[in-house]
């Protein structure tokens, strides 16, 4: 019987990110966002721009490296699947580090960095903040849980965790578990349970803006 062997090989893949410059000149903090499953960088940038106060930041929306067509026939992207999980995590963290390095080198960027994730992008925001090369002043998570293997106490100053009370994908049980994990790590956390589903709405955006101001 023939033996099947599996190998991996590194190759060069181009990633996409979008920038929205602040409304003022001079150094500005960096607000980096990660979209949900099947979305694109444009979707996350729209979410970042909808948060009050974000106009004072350099908003950077990073698109996942794995494109596909959604059931609607529209192009979208995914951060990763369970297949070759550890390899994909390493690649994604290096990718985000490279984006942040380029943004810092190309413009007037201050020392403050805040990560934002929505849905599947929450895990990527956590990994960027806790495994990446750049320390996060803030971490904002909407509708997605914290990867179980990560220690929240390392690499982030404060966290905003939010869930819509009608969210079918991010349960109340997971939300409460993540809140407890953050508090047990002695990291300041602002928890927001708003009236809504698996998406941002005005109530969430206002709460996110209040948190962003503290960062």
Mean pLDDT value of segment 166-182: 96
pLDDT of residue 129: 95
> Taking 80 as the threshold, does the pLDDT of residue 154 lie above it?
no
Instruction: List the CATH number of the domain containing 38.
Output: 3.40.50.1820
pLDDT of residue 125: 97
DSSP type of residue 148: T
Directed axis angle between helix 120-131 and helix 85-106, to 10°?
Answer: 70
- Flag whether 4 is in a domain: no
DSSP type of residue 188: -
Q: Sorting pLDDT into bands at 50, 70 and 90, what band is 155?
A: confident
- Flag whether 63 is in a domain: yes
- Flag whether 57 is in a domain: yes
* Average pLDDT in the chain: 94
pLDDT of residue 208: 98
- Flag whether 10 is in a domain: no
Q: Sorting pLDDT into bands at 50, 70 and 90, what band is 15?
A: very high
Q: Which two tokens stand for residue 200?
A: 């941002």
- Flag whether 9 is in a domain: no
Q: Sorting pLDDT into bands at 50, 70 and 90, what band is 26?
A: confident
- Flag whether 1 is in a domain: no
Q: What is the pLDDT of residues 84-98, one digit of tens each?
A: 999 999 999 999 999
Number of domains in the chain: 1
> Taking 90 as the threshold, does the pLDDT of residue 24 lie above it?
no
**Domain residue limits at 108:** 17-214
- Flag whether 6 is in a domain: no
Nearest CA to 144 out of 175, 103, 114, 173 is that of 175
Q: Which two tokens stand for residue 202?
A: 């005005």
Cβ density class 14-51: b for 16+ within 10 Å, e for less = eeebbebebeeeeebbbbbbbbbbbbbbebbbbbbbeb
Mean pLDDT value of segment 114-124: 98
Distance (Å, whole) CA 128 – CA 116:
10
- Flag whether 8 is in a domain: no
pLDDT of residue 4: 93
> Taking 90 as the threshold, does the pLDDT of residue 12 lie above it?
no
pLDDT of residue 106: 85
- pLDDT higher at 201 or 185: 201
pLDDT of residue 194: 98
> Taking 90 as the threshold, does the pLDDT of residue 203 lie above it?
yes
Q: Sorting pLDDT into bands at 50, 70 and 90, what band is 182?
A: very high
Q: What is the DSSP string of 63-126?
A: --SEEEE-TTS-EEEES--STTHHHHHHHHHHHHHHHHHHHHHHS-EEEEEEEEEETHHHHHHH
């Amino acid at each position: 019987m023939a033996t099947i062997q599996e190998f991996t090989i590194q190759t060069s893949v181009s990633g996409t990110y979008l920038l929205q410059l602040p409304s003022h000149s001079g150094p500005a903090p960096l607000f980096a966002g990660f979209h949900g499953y099947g979305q694109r960088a444009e979707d996350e940038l729209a979410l970042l721009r909808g948060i009050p106060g974000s106009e004072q930041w350099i908003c950077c929306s990073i698109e996942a490296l794995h494109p596909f067509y959604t059931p609607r026939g529209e192009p979208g992207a995914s951060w990763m699947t369970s297949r070759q999980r550890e390899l994909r995590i390493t690649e994604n963290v290096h990718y985000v580090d490279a984006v942040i390095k380029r943004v810092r080198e190309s413009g007037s960027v201050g020392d403050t960095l805040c990560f934002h994730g929505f849905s599947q992008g929450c895990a990527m925001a956590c990994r960027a903040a806790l495994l990446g090369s750049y320390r996060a002043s803030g971490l904002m998570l909407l509708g997605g849980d914290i990867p179980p293997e990560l220690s929240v106490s390392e690499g982030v100053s404060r966290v905003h965790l939010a869930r819509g009370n009608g969210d079918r994908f991010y349960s109340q049980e997971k939300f409460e578990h993540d809140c407890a994990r953050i508090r047990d790590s002695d990291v300041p956390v602002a928890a927001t349970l708003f009236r809504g589903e698996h998406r941002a709405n005005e109530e969430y955006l206002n709460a996110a803006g209040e948190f962003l101001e503290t960062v």
